[in-house]
Each structure stands twice: as C-alpha cells, then as structure tokens.
C-alpha cells in the first residue's frame, strides 16, 4: 500500500508519488518531462515539449468561461538532491521514499522534492478533474529551475496567450507573493600548484557535519552556519598550530542550499595538537551557533596515502578565499521591514585535478547591489591569483501597483478562510522574475502550501495545507470568470 494513499486530495498525492518515483534532479528531467507529455496525450490535451524538457499543456475553458482570459499555472519539475551522509540513495535511479509523520509528508534521509513537485502534482490533478470550473488553462512545467532557471530562460513565450499567471512555488500557505529577488551564480576558480607530500605525516579526512542547512534565499536571514565558511576557519587553525598540509577541500552539492557538510584531506605530524585543534574549534563553533546549529560536529578519520598536497601559496589562497568570501546578509530592505535585500551563499567548494572552485548564489532585489557584489567577488579572485566568472543571471520581480489577479485572489481567500491574506515579498528567486521580463503585461502572483526546511533532508510539506491550497486554487479559478 502506498504511504500516501489515504491522503486528500487523493489525485494530488497520487501524482506527487508518481513523479517522486521518477528521478528528477536538476539536469536529469527528461523522464519526468516525458511522463507529463504522456499524461497530456492520454487525455487528448494539447501539449508541447521543447529540447530543454519544458512542457506546456493547454486545456479549453469549461462551459460559461469561454470568453474569460486564459490563466497560466506554473511550477518547475526539477528538485534539489540533498541527502544525509549515511544515506545510500542514488538520485539518478532511486525513487524518493516517503512517509507520513503527523500532518507532514517527509522523505527517508533525502530531500522530498515538494519544492516544486507539489505544484506539478496539483496541476496534474486539476487537469484530470472534470468538475473544476475554469477559464482556458495553460499549464507550464519548467525545467532546471534550481540551478539557474534554465528552462524558464529558454522557453518560447510566444506559445502563451494568458495574461494572468499563478506561480505555485511558494512555501507558506496564506501568503501571496508579489515580488522577489534577482540573482546569479558566481564562481572563483583557483589554480592548484602541488608539492610532494612530506614523509612521516599522517593523512586524515576532516569532516564538519551536523549543520541545519536550508534554502540559501528563504532561510538566509536565520543566521545558520555554513560548513564551507567553518572549514576555512578550521583549516587556518590547523595550518597555524599543527604544521598541516592540505590535499583537497570539498563542501556542498548545490549553491542554492546553505552548506551542511564539508570535508578536507590534510596531513599532520603532531597528533596531540591536531586532536586538540579539532576539539577546540568544535566547541567554538557550537558556542557561536548554539541557537541555530547546536549539533555542529568536527570529526576525522584516516585517509588513503596522499602523494601530493597544495603548495604553501595555494593553501594560503584557498583559506583566504574561504574566509573572505561573502556569506549571509549583505543588506536589508529599507522599504519592507524584515526583508533581506541582498545576500550571498558560498554553496559549493570542489577540488578538481588542477583547480579548486568556490561557487556562490548571489541574490538581490536591487540590481545595482547585485553587480556591486560581483565586483567584490572579482576583486577577491584577482588578489588571490584566481579566475572569476558568473552565469545564470535572472532579474528581480518587481511589485505591481495595479493587479486585478491579486485583488481577486485576496477576496477569494478571505471568503473561504475568514482571515486576511498576507501580501508578501521574498528574498528567494522565483521564475516570476524571468516571466515578468519576458511578459511585462502579464499580471502574476505566487502561492503554495506550507513547506519547511526545503533543500535539506528535513524537507517536509503540510498535508492539510496541501488540501486547503488545492481547494483554494480551484475556488480562485472558478472566480476568474
């Protein structure tokens, strides 16, 4: 029996389970894209699929709505692939193993993919529900959102006729998002010069783990620790007090996730000083992040024989970049109380044969501040003999003063739930920023059910919240006549 079989709305959870049986990490979306195309063809719906694996499905208006403007519903098909250290889950072939915990659906040791799979499931359920009254629907499923919004950047928007768009990539029920930050991916690539490993030194893999992690946009204001930043401080301590050599540094899998784990291979000869440094820094980190990451753990295990290590200059430059690279909040909004305006997250550090790369997600609601940060990264790279590059630039989504769609959805919410809907902005990037640039005359908003700890193995989605959000969406479409 399916773990989700008894949940309502049944079709939403049925389709969520079906897409979670298909590997759909960013860049690996062909199979789930083909699944959606087959779904549309089986129901005789108009469907289009492009080479980026975006899918567009069109469903005619129901009786009485033929003259109503079309509505675009949108979600992305890819998911962030994060897992616990001891998990043997293979995101390229294994289904997501889900279970129910109270009012939440969770995954066993991995990200759940509710971001944004629950949107895909709700859209498929709507398309498969003949009782829903609605204007003409254009359902857009985009690809590769999590690694740079590649699908949305490359979609052919001339295929869309709708002038009202509802994005379903929000993580807090009862909140209507009307603007978001823009951003880009910044990378520093440091060439590696090596020297022969010194005889008599012991090789260890040093690991920093036990961090909370989180979404690098939506959770950046929570002040959580970043394992890559902690590793920079730890390595500096080891270099200073333990005559340490560094062979490699790695941390994180996604630049849009606050890094939970990092590791380095090091060589030391003074075991007592080495152990003392690890214990001391673990206590320092736990004390600093007592309220957000109280379980930070520094551990070490023997490593395979190391033939070569970073030379002195490469080691010093690697540590300098880690310690100086911007992480966390850069500026708060002066217009919206409590909203982060600009931030950066050093999400991935990776050692290759000839270089070590440092990849960050940069976000800002102010275009000028985004490019100011680019200059900061560029200067850091230059002073350490490294190369700097950026990609995946996406614009901010600016607030729309006049929005009939927003007004209608607020009224519908208040009639259904007898409470005020929150009109919000978000620091995370949404595809609405790209949509607003491509379709400036389209009125758009973003909603979604309650989710928590997305982009981490603790990700969960509220069961009753999904039910309410789906029924709210049905009521919204009925009222958009």
Active site residues: 78, 145
Q: How far apart are CA 30 and CA 18, in angstroms?
A: 15
Residue length of the chain: 481
Q: Convert 50-70 to b/e letters by CB count within 10 Å (16 or more is b).
A: eebbbbbbbbebbeebeebbb
**Which of 465, 429, 458, 376 lies closest to 180, judged by CA?**
429
Residue whose structure tokens are 């079906």: 18
Q: What's the N-to-C CA distance of the chain in angstroms?
A: 40
**What are the residues whose beta carbons fall under 8 Å from the beta carbon of 244, sequence distance 6 or more?**
235, 238, 266, 267, 268, 274
**What are the two backbone dihedrals, phi and then psi, of residue 213, each rounded to the nearest 5 degrees?**
70, -155
**What are the residues whose beta carbons fall under 8 Å from the beta carbon of 212, sequence distance 6 or more?**
224, 225, 258, 260, 292, 293, 453, 456, 458
Q: From residue 158, give the alpha-carbon distance in Å to each of 56, 145, 162, 423.
A: 12, 20, 10, 30
- Contact between 394 and 433 (Cβ < 8 Å): yes
Q: From residue 429, give the alpha-carbon distance in Å to each of 185, 218, 362.
A: 12, 9, 10
Q: How far apart are CA 247 and CA 203, in angstroms?
A: 9
Q: How far apart are CA 19 and CA 37, in angstroms?
A: 13
Residue 9: asked if its preceding bond is cis (omega within 30°), the reply is yes
Q: How far apart are CA 136 and CA 125, in angstroms?
A: 16
């Amino acid at each position: 029996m399916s773990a989700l079989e008894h949940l309502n709305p049944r079709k939403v959870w049925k389709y969520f389970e079906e897409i979670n049986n298909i590997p759909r990490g960013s860049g690996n979306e062909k199979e789930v894209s083909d699944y959606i195309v087959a779904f549309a063809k089986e129901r005789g719906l108009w469907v289009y699929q492009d080479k980026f694996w975006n899918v567009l499905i069109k469903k005619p208006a129901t009786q009485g709505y033929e003259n109503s403007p079309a509505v675009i519903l949108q979600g992305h098909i890819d998911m962030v692939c994060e897992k616990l250290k001891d998990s043997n889950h293979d995101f390229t072939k294994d289904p997501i193993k889900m279970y129910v915990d109270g009012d939440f659906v969770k995954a066993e040791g991995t990200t759940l993919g509710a971001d944004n799979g629950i949107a895909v499931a709700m859209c498929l359920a709507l398309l498969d529900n003949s009782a829903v009254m609605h204007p003409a629907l254009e359902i857009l499923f985009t690809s590769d959102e999590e690694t740079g919004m590649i699908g949305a950047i490359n979609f052919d928007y001339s295929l869309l006729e709708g002038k009202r768009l509802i994005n379903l990539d929000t993580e807090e029920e009862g909140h209507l998002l009307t603007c978001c930050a823009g951003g880009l991916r910044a990378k520093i690539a440091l060439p590696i010069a090596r020297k022969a490993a010194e005889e008599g030194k012991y090789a260890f893999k040093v690991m920093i783990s036990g961090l909370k992690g989180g979404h690098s946009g939506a959770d950046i204001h929570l002040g959580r620790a970043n394992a890559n930043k902690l590793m920079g401080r730890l390595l500096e301590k080891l270099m200073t007090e333990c005559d340490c050599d560094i062979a490699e540094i790695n941390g994180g899998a996604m630049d849009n996730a606050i890094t939970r784990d990092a590791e380095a291979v090091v060589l030391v000869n003074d075991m007592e000083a080495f152990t003392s440094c690890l214990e001391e820094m673990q206590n320092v980190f736990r004390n600093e992040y007592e309220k957000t990451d109280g379980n930070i753990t520094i551990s070490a295990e023997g490593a395979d024989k190391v033939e070569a290590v970073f030379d002195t200059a490469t080691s010093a430059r690697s540590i300098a970049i880690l310690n100086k690279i911007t992480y966390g909040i850069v500026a708060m909004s002066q217009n919206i109380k409590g909203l982060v305006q600009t931030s950066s997250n050093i999400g991935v550090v990776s050692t290759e044969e000839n270089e070590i790369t440092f990849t960050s997600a940069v976000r800002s609601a102010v275009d000028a501040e985004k490019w100011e940060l680019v200059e900061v990264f560029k200067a850091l790279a230059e002073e350490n003999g490294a190369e700097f590059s950026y990609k995946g630039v996406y614009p901010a989504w600016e607030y729309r003063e006049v929005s009939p769609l927003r007004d209608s959805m607020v009224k519908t919410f208040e009639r259904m739930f007898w409470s005020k809907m929150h009109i919000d902005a978000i620091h995370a990037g949404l595809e609405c920023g790209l949509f607003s640039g491509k379709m400036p005359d389209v009125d758009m908003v973003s909603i979604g059910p309650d989710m928590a700890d997305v982009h981490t193995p603790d990700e969960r989605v509220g069961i009753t919240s999904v039910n309410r959000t789906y029924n709210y969406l049905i009521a919204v479409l009925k009222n958009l006549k």
